[in-house]
Chain A
Amino acid sequence: MSGRDVVIGIAAALLLLTIMVVVLSGGTACTPSTEIRRLAEFYLKHCINLYNKTWWTSSPAAVTSMLWDYRGIDTYYETSVFFLAIIGGVALFRVVEVKLGAGGREEKKELGLSLIVKTSTRIVFLLILIVAVSVALHGHVNPGGGFQAGSVLAVGPLLFMAAFSRRFLEDRLKLDRAKCVALLTIGLILIVLVIASPLVVGGALMQNQPKYWLPKSPWGYLTHVGPLELSGTLFFLDVAEFLVVSFGFTLLFIIVSIPEKEFRRLLGL
Protein backbone atom coordinates (compact mmCIF):
# COMPACT_ATOMS: atom_id res chain seq x y z
CA MET A 1 0.00 0.00 0.00
CA SER A 2 1.59 3.27 -1.06
CA GLY A 3 1.47 6.58 0.77
CA ARG A 4 -1.05 7.88 -1.72
CA ASP A 5 -3.51 5.13 -0.82
CA VAL A 6 -3.22 5.92 2.88
CA VAL A 7 -3.89 9.60 2.23
CA ILE A 8 -6.94 8.78 0.09
CA GLY A 9 -8.25 6.40 2.74
CA ILE A 10 -7.86 8.88 5.57
CA ALA A 11 -9.41 11.64 3.46
CA ALA A 12 -12.43 9.48 2.64
CA ALA A 13 -12.85 8.53 6.29
CA LEU A 14 -12.62 12.18 7.35
CA LEU A 15 -15.16 13.17 4.70
CA LEU A 16 -17.62 10.54 5.95
CA LEU A 17 -17.01 11.56 9.55
CA THR A 18 -17.69 15.20 8.72
CA ILE A 19 -20.90 14.36 6.88
CA MET A 20 -22.02 12.25 9.82
CA VAL A 21 -21.32 14.94 12.38
CA VAL A 22 -23.23 17.45 10.25
CA VAL A 23 -26.23 15.13 9.89
CA LEU A 24 -26.29 14.16 13.57
CA SER A 25 -26.02 17.74 14.77
CA GLY A 26 -29.09 18.67 12.75
CA GLY A 27 -27.48 20.25 9.69
CA THR A 28 -30.04 18.62 7.38
CA ALA A 29 -33.14 19.89 9.20
CA CYS A 30 -35.07 16.78 10.24
CA THR A 31 -33.16 13.63 9.26
CA PRO A 32 -32.46 12.22 12.75
CA SER A 33 -35.80 13.21 14.18
CA THR A 34 -36.20 12.39 17.86
CA GLU A 35 -39.97 12.69 17.65
CA ILE A 36 -42.14 9.74 16.68
CA ARG A 37 -44.31 10.38 13.65
CA ARG A 38 -48.07 10.00 13.96
CA LEU A 39 -48.25 6.86 11.87
CA ALA A 40 -45.55 5.16 13.95
CA GLU A 41 -47.26 6.34 17.11
CA PHE A 42 -50.47 4.60 16.03
CA TYR A 43 -48.73 1.25 15.60
CA LEU A 44 -46.74 1.58 18.83
CA LYS A 45 -49.86 2.48 20.78
CA HIS A 46 -52.10 -0.20 19.36
CA CYS A 47 -50.04 -3.30 18.61
CA ILE A 48 -50.39 -4.60 22.21
CA ASN A 49 -52.97 -2.37 23.85
CA LEU A 50 -54.74 -4.45 26.50
CA TYR A 51 -57.16 -1.64 27.38
CA ASN A 52 -58.33 -0.85 23.88
CA LYS A 53 -58.38 -3.95 21.72
CA THR A 54 -60.03 -2.34 18.70
CA TRP A 55 -56.86 -2.24 16.62
CA TRP A 56 -54.56 -4.56 18.49
CA THR A 57 -52.63 -7.54 17.11
CA SER A 58 -51.78 -9.03 20.53
CA SER A 59 -48.07 -8.98 19.67
CA PRO A 60 -45.47 -6.82 21.43
CA ALA A 61 -43.27 -6.85 18.31
CA ALA A 62 -44.48 -3.84 16.35
CA VAL A 63 -42.50 -4.77 13.22
CA THR A 64 -43.98 -8.26 13.04
CA SER A 65 -47.44 -6.82 13.68
CA MET A 66 -47.00 -4.54 10.72
CA LEU A 67 -45.55 -7.23 8.48
CA TRP A 68 -48.16 -9.89 9.09
CA ASP A 69 -51.20 -8.00 10.31
CA TYR A 70 -51.57 -4.33 9.43
CA ARG A 71 -49.69 -4.74 6.12
CA GLY A 72 -50.13 -8.49 5.81
CA ILE A 73 -51.17 -8.69 2.17
CA ASP A 74 -47.99 -6.87 1.24
CA THR A 75 -45.83 -9.51 2.91
CA TYR A 76 -47.92 -12.25 1.36
CA TYR A 77 -47.24 -10.85 -2.11
CA GLU A 78 -43.55 -10.56 -1.29
CA THR A 79 -43.46 -14.19 -0.28
CA SER A 80 -45.28 -15.18 -3.48
CA VAL A 81 -42.78 -13.24 -5.58
CA PHE A 82 -39.94 -15.01 -3.79
CA PHE A 83 -41.64 -18.35 -4.35
CA LEU A 84 -42.28 -17.71 -8.05
CA ALA A 85 -38.73 -16.48 -8.61
CA ILE A 86 -37.34 -19.68 -7.15
CA ILE A 87 -39.77 -21.86 -9.06
CA GLY A 88 -38.67 -20.01 -12.20
CA GLY A 89 -35.06 -20.82 -11.39
CA VAL A 90 -35.90 -24.46 -10.88
CA ALA A 91 -37.74 -24.52 -14.19
CA LEU A 92 -34.66 -23.17 -15.98
CA PHE A 93 -32.53 -25.99 -14.59
CA ARG A 94 -35.11 -28.73 -15.04
CA VAL A 95 -32.97 -30.57 -17.60
CA VAL A 96 -30.52 -31.63 -14.92
CA GLU A 97 -31.33 -34.80 -13.05
CA VAL A 98 -32.49 -34.43 -9.48
CA LYS A 99 -29.63 -36.53 -8.16
CA LEU A 100 -26.14 -36.50 -9.52
CA GLY A 101 -24.86 -39.67 -11.10
CA ALA A 102 -22.14 -42.05 -9.97
CA GLY A 103 -19.90 -41.56 -6.98
CA GLY A 104 -18.83 -44.42 -4.74
CA ARG A 105 -18.17 -44.35 -1.04
CA GLU A 106 -14.41 -44.08 -1.47
CA GLU A 107 -14.88 -40.94 -3.53
CA LYS A 108 -17.00 -39.40 -0.81
CA LYS A 109 -14.16 -39.39 1.69
CA GLU A 110 -11.87 -37.36 -0.52
CA LEU A 111 -14.36 -34.59 -1.19
CA GLY A 112 -14.47 -31.38 0.78
CA LEU A 113 -12.03 -29.44 2.88
CA SER A 114 -9.79 -30.50 5.80
CA LEU A 115 -10.92 -32.28 8.97
CA ILE A 116 -10.66 -29.10 11.06
CA VAL A 117 -12.98 -27.22 8.71
CA LYS A 118 -15.43 -30.11 8.62
CA THR A 119 -15.61 -30.47 12.40
CA SER A 120 -16.02 -26.76 13.00
CA THR A 121 -18.69 -26.65 10.30
CA ARG A 122 -20.66 -29.29 12.19
CA ILE A 123 -20.44 -27.26 15.41
CA VAL A 124 -21.33 -23.99 13.68
CA PHE A 125 -24.24 -25.66 11.91
CA LEU A 126 -25.71 -26.69 15.26
CA LEU A 127 -25.47 -23.10 16.48
CA ILE A 128 -27.01 -21.79 13.25
CA LEU A 129 -29.90 -24.23 13.60
CA ILE A 130 -30.58 -23.19 17.21
CA VAL A 131 -30.43 -19.47 16.43
CA ALA A 132 -32.64 -19.84 13.34
CA VAL A 133 -35.33 -21.86 15.10
CA SER A 134 -35.36 -19.54 18.10
CA VAL A 135 -35.62 -16.45 15.88
CA ALA A 136 -38.48 -18.08 13.95
CA LEU A 137 -40.41 -19.17 17.05
CA HIS A 138 -39.95 -15.85 18.83
CA GLY A 139 -40.68 -13.65 15.83
CA HIS A 140 -43.94 -12.42 17.37
CA VAL A 141 -42.41 -11.35 20.71
CA ASN A 142 -38.86 -10.38 19.81
CA PRO A 143 -37.18 -8.68 16.87
CA GLY A 144 -36.86 -11.10 14.00
CA GLY A 145 -39.32 -13.32 12.22
CA GLY A 146 -39.73 -15.69 9.33
CA PHE A 147 -37.50 -14.03 6.77
CA GLN A 148 -34.65 -13.39 9.19
CA ALA A 149 -34.76 -16.92 10.57
CA GLY A 150 -34.96 -18.38 7.07
CA SER A 151 -31.93 -16.50 5.85
CA VAL A 152 -30.00 -17.49 8.98
CA LEU A 153 -30.82 -21.17 8.44
CA ALA A 154 -29.95 -20.99 4.73
CA VAL A 155 -26.33 -20.32 5.66
CA GLY A 156 -26.14 -23.84 7.14
CA PRO A 157 -26.58 -25.93 3.96
CA LEU A 158 -24.36 -23.46 2.13
CA LEU A 159 -21.54 -24.06 4.62
CA PHE A 160 -22.06 -27.80 4.32
CA MET A 161 -21.78 -27.55 0.56
CA ALA A 162 -18.58 -25.53 0.84
CA ALA A 163 -16.90 -27.63 3.55
CA PHE A 164 -18.10 -31.09 2.55
CA SER A 165 -19.72 -31.40 -0.84
CA ARG A 166 -23.07 -31.17 -2.45
CA ARG A 167 -23.37 -34.93 -2.42
CA PHE A 168 -23.03 -34.90 1.39
CA LEU A 169 -26.09 -32.71 1.57
CA GLU A 170 -28.07 -35.03 -0.67
CA ASP A 171 -26.90 -38.40 0.64
CA ARG A 172 -26.34 -37.85 4.35
CA LEU A 173 -28.76 -35.06 5.21
CA LYS A 174 -31.30 -36.36 2.66
CA LEU A 175 -31.95 -32.83 1.51
CA ASP A 176 -32.36 -32.90 -2.24
CA ARG A 177 -34.16 -30.72 -4.71
CA ALA A 178 -37.52 -32.49 -4.62
CA LYS A 179 -37.65 -32.27 -0.83
CA CYS A 180 -36.77 -28.59 -0.89
CA VAL A 181 -39.52 -27.85 -3.40
CA ALA A 182 -41.97 -29.82 -1.25
CA LEU A 183 -41.12 -27.95 1.96
CA LEU A 184 -41.14 -24.60 0.16
CA THR A 185 -44.59 -25.31 -1.21
CA ILE A 186 -45.86 -26.56 2.15
CA GLY A 187 -44.78 -23.23 3.65
CA LEU A 188 -46.71 -21.20 1.08
CA ILE A 189 -49.79 -23.44 1.40
CA LEU A 190 -49.68 -22.99 5.19
CA ILE A 191 -49.61 -19.23 4.73
CA VAL A 192 -52.59 -19.36 2.38
CA LEU A 193 -54.53 -21.61 4.78
CA VAL A 194 -53.88 -19.35 7.76
CA ILE A 195 -54.80 -16.26 5.75
CA ALA A 196 -57.99 -17.78 4.33
CA SER A 197 -59.24 -19.59 7.45
CA PRO A 198 -61.15 -16.58 8.92
CA LEU A 199 -63.30 -16.52 5.76
CA VAL A 200 -64.80 -19.88 6.77
CA VAL A 201 -66.32 -18.44 9.95
CA GLY A 202 -67.32 -15.19 8.31
CA GLY A 203 -64.33 -13.06 9.20
CA ALA A 204 -62.22 -10.96 6.89
CA LEU A 205 -59.27 -12.13 4.83
CA MET A 206 -56.14 -12.23 6.99
CA GLN A 207 -58.08 -11.38 10.14
CA ASN A 208 -56.02 -11.91 13.26
CA GLN A 209 -57.85 -10.47 16.28
CA PRO A 210 -61.57 -9.60 16.58
CA LYS A 211 -62.57 -6.51 14.63
CA TYR A 212 -65.68 -5.03 16.24
CA TRP A 213 -66.86 -3.03 13.27
CA LEU A 214 -67.21 -6.09 11.05
CA PRO A 215 -70.69 -7.67 10.75
CA LYS A 216 -69.60 -11.01 12.24
CA SER A 217 -66.83 -9.61 14.31
CA PRO A 218 -66.12 -11.44 17.57
CA TRP A 219 -63.81 -14.01 16.17
CA GLY A 220 -60.07 -14.13 16.47
CA TYR A 221 -57.15 -16.44 16.76
CA LEU A 222 -55.86 -17.47 20.19
CA THR A 223 -53.53 -14.97 21.78
CA HIS A 224 -52.18 -17.37 24.43
CA VAL A 225 -51.93 -21.06 25.08
CA GLY A 226 -51.27 -21.21 28.80
CA PRO A 227 -48.15 -19.19 29.48
CA LEU A 228 -47.10 -19.31 25.83
CA GLU A 229 -47.64 -16.24 23.72
CA LEU A 230 -49.06 -17.06 20.27
CA SER A 231 -50.19 -13.64 19.04
CA GLY A 232 -52.93 -15.07 16.86
CA THR A 233 -51.90 -15.72 13.29
CA LEU A 234 -48.49 -14.12 13.63
CA PHE A 235 -46.82 -17.20 15.12
CA PHE A 236 -48.06 -19.54 12.38
CA LEU A 237 -47.28 -17.11 9.59
CA ASP A 238 -43.75 -16.62 10.90
CA VAL A 239 -43.12 -20.36 11.00
CA ALA A 240 -44.53 -20.82 7.49
CA GLU A 241 -42.42 -17.95 6.15
CA PHE A 242 -39.41 -19.56 7.81
CA LEU A 243 -40.05 -22.73 5.80
CA VAL A 244 -40.48 -20.81 2.54
CA VAL A 245 -37.36 -18.67 2.89
CA SER A 246 -34.95 -21.25 4.31
CA PHE A 247 -35.78 -23.99 1.82
CA GLY A 248 -36.08 -21.49 -1.02
CA PHE A 249 -32.54 -20.30 -0.47
CA THR A 250 -31.29 -23.86 0.02
CA LEU A 251 -32.89 -24.86 -3.26
CA LEU A 252 -31.15 -21.97 -5.04
CA PHE A 253 -27.78 -23.00 -3.61
CA ILE A 254 -28.31 -26.60 -4.68
CA ILE A 255 -29.09 -25.43 -8.20
CA VAL A 256 -26.13 -23.04 -8.31
CA SER A 257 -23.77 -25.79 -7.17
CA ILE A 258 -24.52 -28.07 -10.13
CA PRO A 259 -21.09 -28.71 -11.67
CA GLU A 260 -20.58 -27.16 -15.08
CA LYS A 261 -19.28 -30.47 -16.41
CA GLU A 262 -22.54 -32.20 -15.52
CA PHE A 263 -24.53 -29.49 -17.17
CA ARG A 264 -22.51 -29.61 -20.39
CA ARG A 265 -22.85 -33.38 -20.49
CA LEU A 266 -26.62 -33.21 -20.19
CA LEU A 267 -26.98 -30.50 -22.80
CA GLY A 268 -24.66 -32.42 -25.12
CA LEU A 269 -22.13 -29.62 -25.51
Chain B
Amino acid sequence: MILAISMMAFALTLAALFSYLAIKSKDLVKATVFSAGQSAAFALAFFLLMAPDIVLAYVAVAVGIYTVVLLYIISKTERYEGDEQ
Protein backbone atom coordinates (compact mmCIF):
# COMPACT_ATOMS: atom_id res chain seq x y z
CA MET B 1 0.00 0.00 0.00
CA ILE B 2 2.82 2.40 0.96
CA LEU B 3 4.68 1.47 -2.23
CA ALA B 4 1.58 2.07 -4.36
CA ILE B 5 0.97 5.44 -2.72
CA SER B 6 4.55 6.56 -3.16
CA MET B 7 4.60 5.45 -6.81
CA MET B 8 1.35 7.31 -7.31
CA ALA B 9 2.87 10.40 -5.69
CA PHE B 10 5.88 10.08 -7.98
CA ALA B 11 3.76 9.66 -11.12
CA LEU B 12 1.46 12.58 -10.38
CA THR B 13 4.29 14.90 -9.30
CA LEU B 14 6.09 14.05 -12.51
CA ALA B 15 2.90 14.80 -14.46
CA ALA B 16 2.51 18.14 -12.71
CA LEU B 17 6.12 19.07 -13.46
CA PHE B 18 5.77 18.08 -17.10
CA SER B 19 2.57 20.05 -17.56
CA TYR B 20 4.17 23.10 -15.96
CA LEU B 21 7.13 22.83 -18.33
CA ALA B 22 4.78 22.31 -21.30
CA ILE B 23 2.89 25.49 -20.46
CA LYS B 24 6.01 27.57 -19.86
CA SER B 25 7.99 26.38 -22.86
CA LYS B 26 8.23 28.86 -25.76
CA ASP B 27 9.47 26.15 -28.11
CA LEU B 28 6.33 24.34 -29.24
CA VAL B 29 8.14 21.13 -30.19
CA LYS B 30 9.61 20.93 -26.70
CA ALA B 31 6.19 21.66 -25.21
CA THR B 32 4.73 18.76 -27.20
CA VAL B 33 7.42 16.41 -25.93
CA PHE B 34 6.76 17.56 -22.35
CA SER B 35 3.07 16.94 -22.91
CA ALA B 36 3.89 13.40 -24.06
CA GLY B 37 5.93 12.94 -20.88
CA GLN B 38 2.98 14.09 -18.82
CA SER B 39 0.80 11.52 -20.62
CA ALA B 40 3.33 8.79 -19.86
CA ALA B 41 3.21 9.73 -16.17
CA PHE B 42 -0.60 9.64 -16.29
CA ALA B 43 -0.41 6.20 -17.90
CA LEU B 44 1.64 5.00 -14.93
CA ALA B 45 -0.98 6.47 -12.61
CA PHE B 46 -3.78 4.66 -14.48
CA PHE B 47 -1.82 1.44 -14.21
CA LEU B 48 -1.49 1.91 -10.46
CA LEU B 49 -5.23 2.53 -10.28
CA MET B 50 -5.65 -0.95 -11.83
CA ALA B 51 -7.10 0.21 -15.13
CA PRO B 52 -5.01 -1.66 -17.71
CA ASP B 53 -7.62 -1.19 -20.44
CA ILE B 54 -7.37 2.57 -20.08
CA VAL B 55 -3.56 2.37 -20.09
CA LEU B 56 -3.51 0.59 -23.46
CA ALA B 57 -5.78 3.12 -25.14
CA TYR B 58 -4.27 6.11 -23.35
CA VAL B 59 -0.65 5.35 -24.23
CA ALA B 60 -1.48 4.86 -27.90
CA VAL B 61 -3.64 7.96 -28.19
CA ALA B 62 -1.92 10.43 -25.85
CA VAL B 63 1.72 9.53 -26.40
CA GLY B 64 1.49 8.32 -30.01
CA ILE B 65 -1.30 9.83 -32.05
CA TYR B 66 -1.78 13.10 -30.15
CA THR B 67 1.94 13.93 -30.13
CA VAL B 68 2.49 13.19 -33.79
CA VAL B 69 -0.62 15.14 -34.83
CA LEU B 70 0.53 18.13 -32.76
CA LEU B 71 4.00 17.97 -34.32
CA TYR B 72 2.36 17.85 -37.73
CA ILE B 73 0.31 20.93 -36.90
CA ILE B 74 3.41 22.75 -35.63
CA SER B 75 5.18 21.98 -38.91
CA LYS B 76 2.43 23.98 -40.63
CA THR B 77 3.04 27.06 -38.51
CA GLU B 78 5.91 28.59 -36.52
CA ARG B 79 7.97 26.63 -34.06
CA TYR B 80 8.62 29.42 -31.56
CA GLU B 81 5.95 31.25 -29.64
CA GLY B 82 6.57 34.95 -29.00
CA ASP B 83 6.18 38.50 -30.25
CA GLU B 84 9.46 39.02 -32.08
CA GLN B 85 9.16 35.91 -34.27
A is bound by B = yes
Q: A residues touching B (Cβ–Cβ < 8 Å)? A: 1, 5, 8-9, 12-13, 16-17, 20-21, 24, 63, 135, 143-145, 147-149, 151-152, 154-155, 158-159, 162, 249, 253, 256-257, 260
Name the one of B9, B55, B69 contacting A20, with C-beta atoms under 8 angstroms: B9
B5 within 8 A of A: yes
Contacts A24-B5, A145-B53: A162 and B72 contacting too (C-beta < 8 A)? yes
Chain B residues with CB under 8 A of A158: 64-65, 68-69
Chain A residues with CB under 8 A of B55: 143
- The size of the chain B interface, using a CB distance under 8 A, is 23
Minimum distance in angstroms from B55 CB to a CB of chain A: 8
- Binding site of A, secondary structure by majority: helix, strand, loop or mixed? helix
Q: In the complex, which residue of chain A has the Cβ closest to the Cβ of B75?
A: A162
Chain A residues with CB under 8 A of B5: 24
Minimum distance in angstroms from A163 CB to a CB of chain B: 10
Are A151 and B61 within 8 A (Cβ)?
Answer: yes
15 contacts between A and B (CB under 8 A): A9-B17, A13-B13, A17-B12, A21-B9, A24-B5, A63-B53, A144-B53, A147-B57, A148-B53, A151-B61, A151-B65, A152-B60, A152-B64, A155-B64, A158-B65
Q: B residues touching A (Cβ–Cβ < 8 Å)? A: 5, 8-9, 12-13, 16-17, 20, 24, 52-53, 55-57, 60-61, 64-65, 68-69, 71-72, 76
Are B8 and A20 within 8 A (Cβ)?
Answer: yes
Taken together as a complex, chains A and B put the C-alpha atoms of A116 and B15 apart, in Å, by 30
Name the one of A9, A151, A253, A256 contacting B60, with C-beta atoms under 8 angstroms: A151
Q: Which 7 A/B pairs are nearest by Cβ-Cβ distance?
A: A143-B52, A155-B64, A148-B56, A151-B60, A152-B60, A148-B57, A63-B53
Are A13 and B64 within 8 A (Cβ)?
Answer: no
Taken together as a complex, chains A and B put the C-alpha atoms of A24 and B12 apart, in Å, by 13
Are A256 and B12 within 8 A (Cβ)?
Answer: no
Minimum distance in angstroms from B42 CB to a CB of chain A: 13
Contacts A12-B20, A151-B65, A155-B64: A17 and B56 contacting too (C-beta < 8 A)? no
Contacts A9-B17, A143-B52: A256 and B72 contacting too (C-beta < 8 A)? yes
Taken together as a complex, chains A and B put the C-alpha atoms of A61 and B61 apart, in Å, by 22
Chain B residues with CB under 8 A of A151: 57, 60-61, 64-65
Taken together as a complex, chains A and B put the C-alpha atoms of A17 and B61 apart, in Å, by 27
Are B12 and A152 within 8 A (Cβ)?
Answer: no
Chain A residues with CB under 8 A of B57: 147-148, 151
Q: In the complex, which residue of chain B has the Cβ closest to the Cβ of A144?
A: B56
Chain B residues with CB under 8 A of A12: 16, 20
Are B8 and A155 within 8 A (Cβ)?
Answer: no
Are A152 and B56 within 8 A (Cβ)?
Answer: yes
Minimum distance in angstroms from A92 CB to a CB of chain B: 17
Q: In the complex, which residue of chain B has the Cβ closest to the Cβ of A155?
A: B64
